[in-house]
């Protein structure tokens, strides 16, 4: 765990480092459950991977200087585009039921702890990586794009931040129609080219079904 420097200040966060087997082991499933589904309000999860000797990072939301000129930090869209595509694609197929365990007792205890929320874990893990993969949407196979949108709608994500990327009109509409309204506390969809029809669809999606929503950013769109 570490303190994440978000746009709201320092916040307790879990820093996950992905290796080639992350997500395929039962202890990874437990980490995903505790950090993405069962974590307390305000908890953030930053995810790191390594590609060709370079550290790549997915941040849970924006950093304090994402709008600045810091070459190391850059902005969220740049970070997402640099994250290994092969890892994003693999995590879009995350499945609790396929996780390996070396000790049967450990596996049973973890599954008992997760209980009936296994499908939520699958959807929320997939959705976490899919939101980042939106920056590389044109490089994803069609079937994985479909998997991602379905997962997003079924997830328990509390925060969806997508900024300054170019996606098609169909993808923009599908994005707002797939937001998990009942769980979201923060929505930041900036610089995506959203139009009035997209915002109407967003309003229809949220309606009175977003009791926890506190932040809604729609800056730099066509509305």
State the Cα angle at 89 between 86 and 91, rounded to 5°.
Answer: 110
Give the span between the Cα atoms of 7 and 215, in whole angstroms: 13
Neighbour-count burial of 219, counting CB atoms closer than 10 A to its CB (0-12 exposed, 13-18 middle, 19+ buried) = exposed
Give the span between the Cα atoms of 148 and 85, in whole angstroms: 14
pTM equals 0.86
Chain segment 155-197, per-residue pLDDT in tens: 999 999 998 888 999 999 999 999 999 999 999 999 999 999 9
Chain segment 104-161, per-residue pLDDT in tens: 898 899 999 999 999 999 999 999 999 999 999 999 999 999 999 999 999 999 999 9
Q: What is the pLDDT of residue 26?
A: 86
């Amino acid at each position: 765990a570490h303190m994440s420097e978000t746009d709201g200040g320092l916040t307790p966060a879990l820093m996950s480092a992905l290796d080639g087997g992350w997500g395929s082991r039962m202890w990874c499933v437990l980490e995903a459950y505790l950090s993405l589904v069962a974590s307390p309000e305000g908890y953030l999860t930053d995810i790191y991977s390594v590609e060709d000797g370079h550290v790549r990072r997915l941040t849970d939301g924006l950093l304090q200087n994402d709008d600045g000129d810091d070459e190391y930090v850059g902005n969220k869209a740049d970070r997402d585009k640099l994250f290994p595509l092969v890892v994003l694609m693999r995590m879009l197929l995350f499945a609790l039921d396929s996780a390996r365990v070396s000790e049967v007792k450990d596996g049973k205890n973890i599954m008992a702890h997760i209980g009936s929320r296994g499908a939520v874990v699958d959807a929320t893990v997939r959705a976490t990586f899919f939101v980042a993969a939106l920056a590389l949407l044109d490089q994803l196979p069609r079937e994985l794009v479909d998997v991602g949108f379905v997962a997003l709608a079924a997830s328990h994500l509390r925060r969806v931040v997508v900024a300054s990327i170019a996606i098609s009109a169909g993808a923009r509409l599908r994005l707002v129609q797939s937001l998990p309204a009942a769980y979201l506390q923060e929505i930041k969809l900036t610089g995506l080219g959203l139009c009035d029809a997209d915002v109407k669809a967003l309003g229809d999606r949220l309606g009175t079904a977003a009791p926890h929503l506190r932040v809604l950013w729609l800056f730099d769109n066509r509305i």
